[in-house]
Amino acid sequence: MSTHTLPTKTLTEQEVAEIVTMLEALKAKFDFLITLTAQERRQLPKLGERSIGFEEKCAQHMASHPEFLPGFVALDEINLERTLRGQLMRCFAPLQALSSAMEDTLMAVGSDIWLADLAFYHSAQDAARRKLPGAEAICNDLSSRFPGGGRKKETAEPVPA
């Protein structure tokens, strides 16, 4: 069903428990992480790829000319944040790759499941049209997923003569 070759694999309950334990341990290492609101994410200035060169030059100039630092900027704190950012970036790439692969696999597996479910539903509908025992009850139970009754059949309008 999927265009991707999915592994015929499931995890044992023990493997799932071990993975969850490892993830909890990993999360505990990052107990200082914060969560921003959507508004905070929009409002915060971003240090992105295009700004890295500027940031690196500022770091050099701040170190060599601290007399130009505004009073509210603590160089020691900013340097700690620069160190933390570098450390987090080294961790972020493999975490992001794992998360992306997991999301893609979930999507592909979910797609296969959904296609099988729809095929079963259509088969049950066909069976109900043929009045096979139990098919109508299955269709009635499953049809609640499609409250609009599914796709509307287009009615052909008469062609003017």
**Tens-digit pLDDT profile for residues 119-150:** 999 999 999 999 999 999 999 999 999 887 65
Specify the number of domains making up the chain.
1
Tell me how crowded residue 129 is: count the other CB atoms within 10 A of its CB. 11
Q: Name the residue among 42, 43, 33, 37 with its Cα closest to residue 95.
A: 33
pLDDT tens-digit map of 38-74: 999 999 999 988 999 999 999 999 999 999 999 999 9
Amino acid at 60: Q
12 located within any domain: no
Mean pLDDT across the stretch 95-101?
96
151 located within any domain: no
pLDDT tens-digit map of 64-77: 999 999 999 999 99
Rg, the chain, Cα only? 28
80 located within any domain: yes
34 located within any domain: no
Domain membership of residue 58 as a residue range: 50-145
132 located within any domain: yes
45 located within any domain: no
pLDDT tens-digit map of 2-15: 566 776 789 999 99
39 located within any domain: no
Query: Burial of 78 by CB count in 10 Å (0-12 exposed, 13-18 middle, 19+ buried)?
Result: middle
Q: Name the residue among 86, 84, 66 with its Cα closest to residue 75.
A: 66
CA 40 to chain centre: 20
91 located within any domain: yes
